[in-house]
Chain A
Amino acid sequence: MSEWFQSLYVLRKMGYDDIEGFSEGRKVIILISMFAILFLTSAVAIVMGDYKISIFDVYLTLLAHFTPFYEVSDISSLHNTIVWNIRFPRIILAVCVGVALSIAGAVYQGVFRNPLVEPYILGTSSGAAFGAALGIVFPTIFPSIQVPAFIFGSLAVAAAYMLARVRGETPIVTLILAGVIIGSIFSAFVSILKYTATDTALREIVFWLMGGFYYATWDDVITIGPVVLISFFILWGLGWKLNVLSMGDEEARGLGVNPEKYKFIVISLATLITAFAVSLVGIIAWVGLMMPHAARMVLGPDNRFVIPSAAMMGALYLIVCDTLARTLTTSEIPVGIITSILGAPYLCYLLRQKGRVIFG
């Protein structure tokens, strides 16, 4: 099996070349299996839902959209609405957000040389929360919630980065501290808005902060999809450089990787996709922290493998959590609650069992 993979020119071109001891053939097989599992899970998730539609009808609807054999007009418009306009974009959005948060987490952990870092560390979430709260409290000034959430999410990180930049360098400790400072400022702003908001607005802010996919539409998918896809491939391609960066700035220099340049590139991309994800679906905790760990446990710490596997596991995790969120009870549960409830025990396990290996 692995010999067959070795013969694939593409894989060899990408550096996935098996040579004694570098067991990369095995890792590539695991990556491909993960992709298959992700695909199957999505196929199951689309059948699940509050409104019962038979498996046959669900796939007939999909076939109508993807193949020329059936016409969309042949299908009941109710099925078409539920499957094609509600469930399907929701699953794709869960995949995009899962990928975004997981690779952002992997990248941040690598660059900050700290396995406990999560994508919100530089204040994206607080900034986005403030933007969203502004949109909710002042609907006349900000017609959408997502646009101000994205603007302030990115603004927060930019502010943290500039605050941390001293004499042409951005030391990690300063950067994380700057993130904490900016984050707490925006959290205070959110509190002010909550305090002054009406009851309805307050409820909406709280709900938004918990995160969820309830309003998923094709527009959301079209907004975030291409950005995540492109960032994913760029970051994946920088996987080896990320390994070198995680050895520290001086060593990265010694090995020919300009730390300032590449830190800027990868942090910018990771922040961009995090801000997109947060502004579309609110703050979903744990995914960005957990998935890179899970990926490292399965495939080791080499970021050429961590990034794709974390991406797929993150997507898988969010599909599962979101399917639970919309089917467990008759009303929706914010998915952030489920990711946390499922995630915390996992991290407890990690800490007790693998703590020494993973956290050093």
Chain B
Amino acid sequence: MLKVRNIHFNYGSTPVLRDISFEVDEGTLCGLFGPNGSGKTTLFKCCLKFLKAHRGSVRMNGTDISGLRIEDMAKLVSYVPQEHKPPFPYLVREVVLMGRTPHLGGFFGVSRKDKKIALDALDMVGITELADRPYSQLSGGQRQMVLMARAIAQETPLMFLDEPTSALDFSNQIRIWKIMQMIAEEGVTILACSHDPNHVAWFCDKVVVMNGNGIAAEGAPSEVISEETLREIYGDICSVRAVDGVRMVMPRWIMDKTYGGIGSLTPEASAGMGMTYD
């Protein structure tokens, strides 16, 4: 469904992506995981043609995207950006209706059906009650949910989400991940960035771990989210344990404090911990 082959990208002379290749099958919820500055957002932008990769190719649904028009791309893949603030107070329902843009025709072309789809998408994300609020007055988390609904209304076979849960409270994080799982089960291929190793381990079918401009690991979360991988990208600060069979990533420092372990705690590591895991 999504095939990324040998992508290279530089900002000026700084290499950001080096030889990135991976594949995501149809109906798979794939997590893109990696530390800050590892090139996740840049990879997104190359896949969506916001940026032009210097080398390599991206195929979606069997089509090489380099030849696709912007209008056709939008029928193939939807994009949930990181939280942003628009200059005009569009109502939430209008923002979601914008997701229908690639399917519109005619003079304005917004049909009854499009409005229904937009309202259904709001319902699916569970924010129908926000429909008449100005989008610009919502909290960051609420805005993320609206953008999610917009992507659902776009009805594309692929969906790219850039940290869709970064501004959400705990229950909404879980809700958004569950919705993504549900959409994936309906056959939509999803690529979602996340900074939370637990979310990736719990909810994704597949994980691509990026580090230092390349891919560090790739595969099922149970294999990829391991102490070795986390050590490689974050340094030696994480422990992976199974709690009643569920995989949990925890800061080692908390583990040591709780279970009275000694030895592994170095001053440098303890300084880094509070920051990486909140």
- Residues of A near any B CB (own CB < 8 A): 12-17, 19-22, 110, 113-115, 237, 239-241, 243-244, 246-248, 250-251, 253-258, 296, 300-302, 304, 357-358, 360
Contact = CB atoms under 8 A, between A and B. Distances in A.
A244 B108 contact: no
B131 A240 contact: no
Interface in B63-86: 69-75, 78-79, 81, 84-86
B90 A17 contact: no
Given A19-B112, A247-B86, A258-B70, A253 B49 contact: yes
Sort chain B's interface into a size bin. 35 or more
Contact of A357 (B87, B97, B134): B134
Contact of B107 (A14, A19, A113, A300): A14
Contact of B70 (A12, A13, A256): A256
9 contacts: A15-B106, A110-B88, A253-B73, A255-B98, A256-B70, A257-B101, A258-B69, A301-B90, A358-B89
Contacts of A301: 88-90, 94
A22 B115 contact: yes
Nearest to B104: A240
Contact of B110 (A237, A240, A360): A240
Contact of A253 (B70, B84, B85): B70
B107 A13 contact: yes
A105 to B, nearest CB: 14
A15 B107 contact: yes
B29 interface: no
Interface of B: 45, 48-50, 69-75, 78-79, 81, 84-91, 93-94, 97-99, 101-102, 104, 106-112, 115-116, 119, 131-132, 134, 136-137, 154
- Of A110, A241, A301, A357, chain B has the most CB atoms within 10 Å of the CB of A301
Given A240-B104, A246-B86, A254-B74, 8 more contacts: A22-B93, A251-B84, A253-B70, A253-B74, A255-B102, A256-B73, A258-B70, A360-B87
B67 to A, nearest CB: 15
A79 to B, nearest CB: 42
B137 to A, nearest CB: 8
Nearest to B136: A360
A247 B111 CA distance: 21
B102 A243 contact: no
A223 B162 CA distance: 51
A239 B108 contact: yes
Contacts, number: 115
Given A115-B88, A253-B70, A254-B48, A237 B107 contact: yes
Most buried by B among A12, A15, A16, A302: A15
A358 B87 CA distance: 8
Contact of B87 (A19, A113, A254): A113
B132 A21 contact: yes
B78 A254 contact: yes
Nearest to B70: A258
Contact of A243 (B72, B94, B107, B116): B94
Contact of B109 (A15, A20, A250): A15
Contacts of B134: 357
Contacts of A296: 88
A247 B79 CA distance: 13
Contact of B84 (A15, A237, A239, A248): A248
Nearest to A246: B88
Contacts of B109: 15, 240
A253 B50 contact: yes
Contact of B91 (A246, A256, A257, A300): A300
A250 B81 contact: yes
Contacts of B108: 14-16, 237, 239-240, 304
Contacts of A244: 98, 101
A357 B110 contact: no
B52 to A, nearest CB: 10
Nearest to A257: B101
B6 to A, nearest CB: 23
Contacts of B98: 243-244, 247, 255
A256 B71 contact: yes
A15 B102 CA distance: 15
Contacts of B131: 21
A162 B121 CA distance: 41
B9 to A, nearest CB: 15
Contact of A255 (B74, B84, B132): B74
Nearest to B128: A21
Nearest to A237: B107
B106 A13 contact: yes
Contacts of B154: 255
A293 B210 CA distance: 46
B85 A250 contact: no
For the complex of A and B, list the 7 residue pairs with the smallest distance between their C-beta atoms, beginning with the closest.
A256-B74, A15-B108, A256-B102, A254-B79, A301-B88, A15-B110, A258-B70
Contacts of B50: 250, 253
